[in-house]
Structure 1
Amino acid sequence: MSIMKRRTQRQAWACGAMLLLMLAACGRDAVDPAKPPAEPVAAVQAMARAVAANDLLAYARLSVPPAQYRRLQDAWAQGHSRWPLTELPLHDQLLPMLQALSAPDGNQQLQRSFERQLAGQTTAVRQAAQSMGLFGVQYLRHENTITASQRSHYIQAVETLAGWAADAPISDRARARAAITALTGAARATGISDDSHLQQHGMEGSLQKLGPFISVLKAVMASYGLDVDESLRDLTGEVLSQQGDNALVRLQYPLAGQTVSLQIPLTRRESHWYLTRTLADTDALLRNADAAQAESDARIAPADETGADAMPPAKP
């Protein structure tokens, strides 16, 4: 196997782990996206419950106001957006991960890669997890593009996940065989391995197809002792401050036997609460999408006019 293919596979697994971390950071029952909660903490809990139910479509609808949601659908259809997939950490590795898992020989390739790199290497895996945890914490301590609150949350999560990985049965052959079989089957079932598939299915269709894959991914992680659904369902919080349409909340969720806390700002728009960062990201995305579409329309218009001028006059 080439070095590039092995790197792609390692990135695919890393993407899966980071995806789960993101889901846990979000935070029990069915969710009605047509009726988003009117209280800040409840709004975050509703989004977390949607992910716990593997309903990515409900999660997307709860994440932005209805009018903005419709514009994001249009931007996806025009090829200018892949939100909410772009909200994922390492989102640019999602398609390579699905491609590697859904390849015709993906199962065999990943099994062979596991045998070479991880099988029976309990001590090596534990040392690697500890080293990566230390490296991650040091990196976060010196990262100047995140807020102090984000840094605190990320450090808690990295330390907790490093501790989990050090003790998880990652090198177990039977468990890995079952996990790889489940993931490759779920990846193939999505029918998604490149951007043309996302374009073909549209935003809602793509999210509906990815939901079952997320379900299997979480089940695999649970088999290794990391219960993401517990983190999502048991998320709690309190409002620290609220001034007009802005609120700051403290959230807590269980993760690998520890309790992780974070503070996030929310903004009220159209009588409902949304993550401030998500609104800022999607506002910017839609501005860029509108500009790109306007530029595309401007290029097409002269061609249409030229074609019209060249047409012969209709016969009487």
Structure 2
Amino acid sequence: MTIVRRACAALLPTAVLLVGVLAAVGCGRAPSPPEPVATQPVQAVTQLVADLRRNDLEAYARHAVPAPLHARLETAWSEGRTVWPLTELPLDDRFPSFIAALAAQDAERTLVATYRRQFAGADAELRSAAKTLGLFATQYVRNEPGYSETERDHHAQLIVAISAWAQTAPLGDSKRAREAIPQLVAAARATGLAAPDAFAHAGMDRSLRRLGPFVERLKRVLTGYGLDLDAALGSVQASLAEQTGDTARVRIRYRLAGEAVDAYVLVERRDGRWYLSDLLRHAEAEADAPAKPRAAPAAGARAGKAAAPAATAVPAR
């Protein structure tokens, strides 16, 4: 594997995580008091932005869908059929293995050694990989049938911003990596979600609550690399573009890594409360998702080592 391909493997989880989180306007810390009910279209957006700024995944899941759908999703999660709302992230099926790899025994030493061997000082190659990733991700968004047109437009703008950030971020800085990796390892272990089927056993609400501090730590690490997600969320301006009965379109504008994002989200009213239409569509599909076949553990995982794709994802953060 060339260093460019290894760099792409490292950058891809970071990029898709950020695209998914921001494009969905949400994704944890202990739950805060309930927010006011979103009785206006714009509130459906601003409420989820507030949840994300507090790192409150549990509240996000509660606010994103009606209570009956939330209950169905909790059942599907406990049965191992979904990890919604993590399914809003591309590569969501790798998120549990990402946590497991970070929390593995001797993970800190293994990941630091991997970074030094594959990425340390490889700034030019990492910049090239970031550019390649941007082109690949843009093409993926254009061709993925599961996205609506509003999602495609928002995702495309996010990809531009993230790709531009990654091309200038100090991803090859060994000192930063040595500081970042122990933080993520400790945060992953603190979730208690590294064991096989841990997400299903804990259930949706408990899992999301445990992931809150991990998301908070991940934000801090990314800020150290020049990507301040809380600043981006703090810059969000939402305004009503149009409304027809129980459907509406909300314009959202913010800055991510110095790039302006100007997009729209569709919202709809159910039982007097407003929700993001695309999130509802995705959540309903996940609530009805069939059981997933149990994947065999990778050779590295069976040997008690972090799997290579998840391990190489850490330095890019």
Give the equivalent residue in structure 1 for 2:299.
Answer: none
After superposition, the Cα gap between the structure-2 partners of 1:137 and 1:88, relative to the gap in structure 1 and judged at 3 Å, is closer
1:20 to 14, 18, 21: 18
Matched, 1:82 2:55: no
Q: Which amino acid aligns with 2:161?
A: T
What aligned pairs does 1:210-289 form with structure 2 within 5 A after superposition?
Answer: 210-287=211-288
After superposition, the Cα gap between the structure-2 partners of 1:134 and 1:191, relative to the gap in structure 1 and judged at 3 Å, is same
Q: State the superposition RMSD in angstroms.
A: 2.6
Q: TM-score, normalised by structure 2?
A: 0.80
Give SS of 1:104's match: coil
After superposition, the Cα gap between the structure-2 partners of 1:143 and 1:78, relative to the gap in structure 1 and judged at 3 Å, is closer
Give the equivalent residue in structure 2 for 1:300.
Answer: none
Give the equivalent residue in structure 1 for 2:175.
Answer: 174
After superposition, the Cα gap between the structure-2 partners of 1:36 and 1:11, relative to the gap in structure 1 and judged at 3 Å, is farther
1:106 Cα deviation from its structure 2 partner: 1.1
Would the aligned equivalents of 1:183 and 1:216 in 2 still touch at CA under 8 Å? Answer: yes
Which runs of no fewer than 5 residues in structure 2 stay unpaired?
A: 292-317
**More displaced 10-residue stretch of structure 1: 228-237 or 180-189:** 228-237
Which runs of no fewer than 5 residues in structure 1 stay unpaired?
A: 293-316
Would the aligned equivalents of 1:231 and 1:253 in 2 still touch at CA under 8 Å? Answer: yes
1:182 Cα deviation from its structure 2 partner: 0.4
Q: How many residues align?
A: 283
After superposition, the Cα gap between the structure-2 partners of 1:288 and 1:18, relative to the gap in structure 1 and judged at 3 Å, is closer
Would the aligned equivalents of 2:82 and 2:289 in 1 still touch at CA under 8 Å? Answer: no
1:10 Cα deviation from its structure 2 partner: 7.3
Matched, 1:154 2:155: yes
What aligned pairs does 1:54-203 form with structure 2 within 5 A after superposition?
Answer: 54-141=55-142, 146-203=147-204
1:266 Cα deviation from its structure 2 partner: 0.8
**More displaced 10-residue stretch of structure 1: 167-176 or 198-207:** 198-207
1:261 Cα deviation from its structure 2 partner: 1.8
Give SS of 1:239's match: strand
Percent identical residues? 39
1:177 Cα deviation from its structure 2 partner: 0.6
Give the equivalent residue in structure 1 for 2:304.
Answer: none
Give SS of 2:172's match: coil
Give the equivalent residue in structure 1 for 2:52.
Answer: 51
Q: Residues of 2 paired with 1:206 and 1:195: CA distance?
A: 13
Larger helix share, 1 or 2: 1
1:255 Cα deviation from its structure 2 partner: 0.3
Q: Residues of 2 paired with 1:101 and 1:214: CA distance?
A: 14
Higher relative contact order (CA 8 A, sep 6+): 2
After superposition, the Cα gap between the structure-2 partners of 1:208 and 1:13, relative to the gap in structure 1 and judged at 3 Å, is farther
Q: Which amino acid aligns with 1:14?
A: L
Q: Which amino acid aligns with 1:174?
A: K
Per-residue Cα deviation, 1:154-173 (whole angstroms, up to 9, x for no partner): 22211211111111111111
1:96 Cα deviation from its structure 2 partner: 1.4
Structure showing greater Rg? 1
Give SS of 1:33's match: coil
Q: Residues of 2 paired with 1:96 and 1:229: CA distance?
A: 26
After superposition, the Cα gap between the structure-2 partners of 1:122 and 1:8, relative to the gap in structure 1 and judged at 3 Å, is closer
Q: Which amino acid aligns with 2:250?
A: V
Per-residue Cα deviation, 1:222-271 (whole angstroms, up to 9, x for no partner): 11010111122221122222111111111112100111122111111111
After superposition, the Cα gap between the structure-2 partners of 1:209 and 1:130, relative to the gap in structure 1 and judged at 3 Å, is same
1:215 Cα deviation from its structure 2 partner: 0.6
Q: Which amino acid aligns with 1:261?
A: D
Q: Residues of 2 paired with 1:195 and 1:254: CA distance?
A: 38
**More displaced 10-residue stretch of structure 1: 120-129 or 43-52:** 120-129
Q: TM-score, normalised by structure 1?
A: 0.81
